[in-house]
Structure 1
């Protein structure tokens, strides 16, 4: 037993130092002795990881791992097996298979929070690298749900999760308000039909939530360590333009984000790295106790009035909806440029403000100004000059225009203060 344990430790040490052949040799010695199954299993899993860099054997190793998934003894270890397979897929640049197997890992993981967080984190990283930030946001949310707060990567992951959550809020706001405005253009019959379809989707979502709660209760009964966490997995962003059939945004809660979060000032300074990004998880309004039926309809997602009240049918509501969209475009542009190094996406956000709301005096001037600075900093003088001319022509009295033709404008403002 001591010798087997000694071989296992030597295998791990060699694996850590990337001496894979030696590590494999020691793992084989452990497996040959056939000690307790947990050590055999870990030896097989670790051995498979040693083959990740060796494409000659990877197919054979993957077949052995898939064979392990059929073994009843590995029922509790399926999450780890699929995770290793997914890692192998990544090393072979097979991202589609990696996503499928990481997903299987999260689904098979019942009580192993550490493994669950690892699988979600890898999924988040895949979508982050693909610049699919909405999907990445959901996987980072799930990672933080299951990751131990003492984990060495926790703070770094948490920081990214908060950033992506804020970006997702703004992008979802744009999609939501756009969908609400589309509803406003429908006939009453079309509107009622669409709202009924939304309610059916909401009812389906609630049934799925109840089933998830039932499964959790069962798992808690079997193993109290699972706790009362809520698994947010399963609501992948569809990426569609229609808000209400997008499971990731069906909560319908972002319509009031301006009221909830407040409006940030349109700052002269293009960078805002000194600001802390904060995000607050919105409570599920359906769980609140209502004092009467009238108030209940405000938060009851199965009541048509809940949706009709949010449709911008009046001039005032439409203006408010447009302001929400404009602000969301602007804030998203800041995150894209200053935190994600996505200048192209930032330019698209700012250009959308100018194209869709050319007469807006609160955001168009700074949108022109920020575009001017971005083009200038990226050695695109012609584009920068176009933005400058548009700003001076359309908003000559704006402080952003004055910043361009009065170099001492900010200094004079400070002196007057």
Structure 2
């Protein structure tokens, strides 16, 4: 009987502790187990993981700093053990302690761990589940904030904004309000809405305590104000960075940017600010940061419109680089943007954009934009060079032979002189960089001193001195003996008693050696002249080919201006030049169409009128008409009747009449369902009437204008046959 009582009592207690029970005993038991067996461990692991990821983060202070550290599954591998334990422990709470008051927090930790691992879909499902099931209002608010963060990391910004609108209506506590502001600021920053993001970040800063995280938010907020040209609002945030326990690099950059904004706000001379920068250059703590200082000095001069000085400082930044590829990338980018936007030196801009891409990480937000710009500029520069080259060659072709020969010789010699100066400048820079590298090494340890036999600088200097005195003598015994020769220096030369003795290995005298050099130079000059002569359009056929290259270059440059650079004024000027210089250009119809589209009033544009009168059956004319045509069932019926009549004429071999009817029908019934049939019938009739060039152009227009037509396979077959011929 006693045993039975014990068993019954045990069963009652066990039943009372079930996770599906709401009794006080059950809840207390599960709360205790959830807290001490799982939750405390999960909290500590999350703190360690977040601390480690923040400590090992890689910041690029020259680029826009994100308000929150973006989730990176690759970097999260460093804390994989912590995240694994969080997932295991919080899952236990969900499985065994479902009536615990800590369930919502456990699920949120589980979702955060999955988010940090890059498992976005499961993280989103976890946060959604908490939002719809928990009765803990604080937990539900927290889950919604992390749901918004998850959608932001997924780049689903529209859904993230919808979630933020829901959160905005809730009564959040202080900590959730802070996290909401930070997450929303991060969302708008990712969307490129910097003014909104900065304003929200300022509200978040009011709720943050002094810490390095707060310093980051101040820095990011200041950067966004700089982007939207509000230096007066950026300056206080840069100054606040140093008051919130930043690391040395962040403090250094904030001070530099503060000086930059201070100069802009004052709108006065930059001399005083530049003096502060020069003091920073002399500070030994900044030895490895000189490239950043020069970069900021360049930014200051660029903002003031002093572009030559800005370029000088940017080049100094590159020369003082310590191998920081990210900094070099942004220096190259500033040089590229300056040459592109301000100086319109597109050839230089193209080179700098290419250099930017070699140093810029592919994960950079600017990478795609810069890549597209570099590609466009590469094409632009190519066609610009074609214009310049063909102009020069045509100018040379018009000269008389004697003047042409002198002009070529002068141009070749000037080019060689420029190349020689460039080589000397490159060698001088290389020597300077070598000396700077050795000096840096010495600065790091004042007691450092290489033994002369191992010092490359001393060796190079002594070797040069020796060669100037003795020449290139072989490393052998008795090298100073009088019967030894070493290049052009002999024992008699070093004694100052040399006459016209042989001074070369083959026994030639100095005069003969000099004559040989002159003959070689003359031969090289003639070879270069011959190479240029071959390119000069000296015959009518070559001149036509040269002009055709120019025609194509103008056409391509106009399209690049319009579609890639978004510079309509330059596009219009280029297209007008094309039509003026090449009135019979094969691109006339398309150019007229593009000029008509660019006109302020398309209806009254002279380019529209010319296109419709000169090329009424072209795809471009139909594109202009299509928007003004009202298609009814009656119009469709008439179109079918006209098409049948034209096709019957074609079948009866009345090709000219059929062609006239097909072209009229193509214009009159633009926008109908059988427009493509009219176009194909016209193509077939052009082939029958032997109009090869118009036929080829019509085929190309069909492929461009009717990509979804059922007649496309037939058009491609005709193109293939034409290509074979």
Alignment partner, residue 398 of structure 2: 185
Alignment partner, residue 24 of structure 1: 239
2:607 to 380, 384, 387: 387
Give how far 1:328 is off. 0.8
Distance 2:242 2:373 in 1: 37
Distance 2:368 2:559 in 1: 22
Alignment partner, residue 339 of structure 1: 564
Alignment partner, residue 365 of structure 1: 589
Distance 1:24 1:402 in 2: 61
Cα distance change of structure 1 residues 387 and 24 upon mapping to structure 2, 3 Å threshold: closer
Is the contact made by 1:8 and 1:27 (CA closer than 8 Å) also made in structure 2? no
1:413 to 676, 679, 685: 679
Cα distance change of structure 1 residues 188 and 71 upon mapping to structure 2, 3 Å threshold: farther
1:313 aligns with 2:546: no
Is the contact made by 1:53 and 1:91 (CA closer than 8 Å) also made in structure 2? no
Distance 1:389 1:21 in 2: 59
1:161 aligns with 2:374: yes
Give how far 1:117 is off. 1.5
Is the contact made by 1:140 and 1:157 (CA closer than 8 Å) also made in structure 2? yes
Give how far 1:71 is off. 5.7
Deviations 1:240-260 (A, max 9, x none): xxxxxxxxxxxxxxxxxxxxx
Is the contact made by 2:350 and 2:374 (CA closer than 8 Å) also made in structure 1? yes
Q: Partner of 1:151: helix, strand, or coil?
A: coil
Is the contact made by 1:329 and 1:349 (CA closer than 8 Å) also made in structure 2? yes
Alignment partner, residue 360 of structure 2: 147
2:318 to 82, 97, 106: 106
Is the contact made by 2:558 and 2:575 (CA closer than 8 Å) also made in structure 1? yes
Superposition pairs for residues 207-356 of structure 1, below 5 Å? 207=420, 208-209=422-423, 212=426, 303-356=528-581
Cα distance change of structure 1 residues 393 and 183 upon mapping to structure 2, 3 Å threshold: farther
Is the contact made by 1:137 and 1:164 (CA closer than 8 Å) also made in structure 2? yes
Deviations 1:341-397 (A, max 9, x none): 21111111211121111133x22333233323332xx32544x2x224545666688
Give how far 1:218 is off. 9.6
Q: Partner of 2:260: helix, strand, or coil?
A: coil
Distance 1:200 1:126 in 2: 32
Deviations 1:262-316 (A, max 9, x none): xxxxxxxxxxxxxxxxxxxxxxxxxxxxxxxxxxxxx999721221111111111
Distance 2:616 2:240 in 1: 76
Is the contact made by 1:336 and 1:346 (CA closer than 8 Å) also made in structure 2? yes
Distance 1:29 1:172 in 2: 54
Larger radius of gyration: 2
Alignment partner, residue 241 of structure 1: none
Bigger Cα displacement from structure 2, 15-24 vs 307-316:
15-24
Is the contact made by 1:133 and 1:164 (CA closer than 8 Å) also made in structure 2? no
Q: How many pairs align?
A: 326
Stretches of structure 2 that go unaligned for 5 or more consecutive residues are 1-54, 56-209, 223-233, 439-523, 626-663, 685-710, 712-725
Q: Greater RCO between the two (CA within 8 Å, min separation 6)?
A: 1
Distance 2:340 2:235 in 1: 30
Distance 1:370 1:25 in 2: 52
Alignment partner, residue 218 of structure 2: 14
Alignment partner, residue 335 of structure 2: 123
Stretches of structure 1 that go unaligned for 5 or more consecutive residues are 32-38, 224-298
Give how far 1:326 is off. 0.5
RMSD over aligned CA atoms reads 4.1
Give how far 1:178 is off. 1.0
Bigger Cα displacement from structure 2, 313-322 vs 303-312:
303-312
Give how far 1:143 is off. 1.5
Give how far 1:161 is off. 0.6
Is the contact made by 2:325 and 2:359 (CA closer than 8 Å) also made in structure 1? yes
Distance 1:168 1:128 in 2: 12
Scaled by the length of structure 2, the TM-score of the pair is 0.39
Give how far 1:30 is off. 8.3
Cα distance change of structure 1 residues 127 and 27 upon mapping to structure 2, 3 Å threshold: same
Distance 1:399 1:184 in 2: 39
Scaled by the length of structure 1, the TM-score of the pair is 0.64
Distance 1:149 1:343 in 2: 31
Alignment partner, residue 277 of structure 2: 65
Deviations 1:104-152 (A, max 9, x none): 3234436332222111211222333348261432321221233234434
Give how far 1:319 is off. 0.6
Distance 2:360 2:390 in 1: 34
